[in-house]
Amino acid sequence: MYKLQIVLTIFKLLQKNKLLSISLGILVIFSLFLYLETLETYNAIEAISLWVRNYFGNFYLYLGLGCVLLLLAIAISPWGTYRLGHANERPAFKRLPWIAMLYSAGMGSGILLRAVQEPVFMQQNPPLSTGVSSEVIALEFTFYQWGFTAWAFYAIFALAIGYAVFHKNKTVATSSTFSSLFQKKENGFLTGIDLLTILTTIFGLVAALGLGASQIKGGLNHLFEADFSYLLIIALVIGIGILALVSALSGVEKGIKRISTFNIYVTIALLLFVFFQSDILLTLEQFAIGIYRYIIDFIPMSLALGKFDPGIEFLTDWTYYYWAFWLAWAPFTGIFIARISKGRTIRETIIGVLLIPSLGSFFWFTTFGQSAFDMISGWGSYSGEFDNVFTSIFVFFEAYPLTAFINSVVILLLVSFLVTSVDSAIYVLSMFTDKGKRNPSRKQRLLWGIILIIFSVGIVLLGHAKEDSDVLIAMQKLLIITSLPLSLFMVVMIGLWLRDLAIHKKE
């Protein structure tokens, strides 16, 4: 009887909600292909991703640079004083919890996935030849891929939706969706916009979940000296999805806020653990040099000009993929940041979202990267010890005391970051399909939690469709495709937001 009630409840939700029913219909159809025609689906994705790369790869680069420059211009302009909300409204959250929540939602487990592997890869395979050391190039390019551009995508979405909801329509019951940027509310075009953001969000989220679960499996393989099958990844995806659902059902204050704060404290503790056992002066020096080089080289790197062009193969495997990943995360991260940024000025939001998390990421990668460089220098040669993206950080901590304990903490932090990302996505997806309510119904959150788990399992299967493939390779190809429509819509969204700012009248 209880199962029948659940089925009837879901049926009623779908019957009354066109956006929800269309979204789930598309996901169910795609999931069937993932489960039943896995190899054929993988081959089709591979072919389409090459087409997107050839014709739209540079567009991703131009869009990223444009977003950064636009935000900096707005921050120093009079528009920067406009507030997301009433003129004298106080911020919804204090500064530290605010930063903790936006950073956990925006980066999460990725900083653990790439902490060692990416700087070392860049050092061993320098993408540029600019006359500086390979270590500086490695840090500079890692900063580029984790820095201002990623957070600019998030900030653009956050400010556009935040302005539309908290200022333009603040006197009425409004929708926290991207259709609220437009004047008319009910037509197929606007439903298509929200549908696009929902689907892009889901692809980005399940990619992060699949990659994070794969890294947890890599850590468990390393700790137990075993070779668990990909079935463990599926079990981890399901377990993390259930934990995230419980957190999302608890709400922002009880669930998401507490876990995000826990993530930040543990991450800082892990960072300091490595930092104080490293060459502190050298790390600080490399941090400063890396930031300096990153800033002065930012524009030519962003446009891949001349000696700053790493080549199409590198751009496809790294920059295009990263930009697509950040774009895929931008809708749900942006809406979540907008929700927790109510009461802050546009200038403060830009500084908080664009600069503070970027600097934190830079220091993180410098500390882990430089320590790994020192290890390799001490070994005298490098034999690919940090090549595996899923196990590199666990290999890294073998050189430190309390290895088993620290690696266990890393696994716990991975789980916690993933739970935070998934529960934020569940919450935002529910806002979209529950008429934009800022506190969506528990039924909506429950339904999206279940759907995300089912779809994530399908993505894990896709990542093992070929013997020479894994979840990372599959996601690189898929996200380059799925982020393209959203990137095109982003141009329109920016235009609408600037139009509204231009006609804004201070209260």
Per-residue pLDDT in tens (0 to 9) along the chain, 507 residues: 544 555 555 555 555 677 778 888 888 888 888 888 888 888 888 899 888 888 888 999 999 999 999 999 999 998 888 888 766 777 777 777 787 777 665 666 788 889 999 999 999 999 988 888 999 999 999 999 999 999 999 999 889 888 777 765 543 334 455 555 555 544 555 567 778 888 888 887 787 788 788 888 888 888 888 788 878 888 888 998 888 888 777 765 555 667 777 878 888 899 999 999 999 999 999 999 999 999 999 999 999 998 999 998 899 889 998 998 888 888 878 877 887 888 888 999 999 888 888 998 999 999 999 999 999 999 988 988 999 888 899 999 999 999 889 999 998 888 888 887 788 778 778 877 777 676 778 888 888 888 888 888 887 777 766 665 566 677 778 888 888 888 998 998 898 888 878 876 544
- The residue behind tokens 């659940």 is 6
130 C-beta neighbours (distance < 10 Å), count: 14
- Write the DSSP assignment of 365-377 as a string of letters: HHHHHHHHHHHHH
The pLDDT of residue 85 is: 72
Phi then psi dihedrals of residue 56, to 5 deg: -125, 5
In whole angstroms, what is the distance from residue 479 CA to residue 472 CA? 10
The pLDDT of residue 459 is: 76
Which tens digit of pLDDT belongs to each residue from 440-497?
A: 788 888 888 888 888 888 877 777 666 655 666 777 788 888 888 889 989 988 988 8
Q: List, in sequence order, every residue forming a beta bridge with 83; answer none if it has no partner.
A: 345
Torsion, CA 91, CA 96, CA 101, CA 106, rounded to 10: 110
User: If we measure between CA atoms, which residue out of 357, 393, 184 comes closest to residue 273?
Assistant: 393
Considering the entire predicted model, what is its pTM?
Answer: 0.86
In whole angstroms, what is the distance from residue 336 CA to residue 256 CA? 11
- Write the DSSP assignment of 442-462 as a string of letters: HHHHHHHHHHHHHHHHHHHHH
Domains of the chain with CATH codes: 17-502 (1.20.1740)
User: If we measure between CA atoms, which residue out of 436, 447, 14 comes closest to residue 202?
Assistant: 447
Nearest 5°: CA angle at 328, between 496 and 201? 90
Cα-trace Rg, the chain: 22
- HSE toward the beta carbon, residue 241, CA cutoff 13 A: 24
Give the orientation angle of helix 188-224 with respect to helix 442-463, to 10 degrees: 60
User: If we measure between CA atoms, which residue out of 216, 286, 145, 214 comes closest to residue 460?
Assistant: 214
Residues 6+ apart with CB under 8 A from 50: none
The pLDDT of residue 292 is: 96
Per the CB < 8 A criterion, the answer to whether 362 and 183 are in contact is no
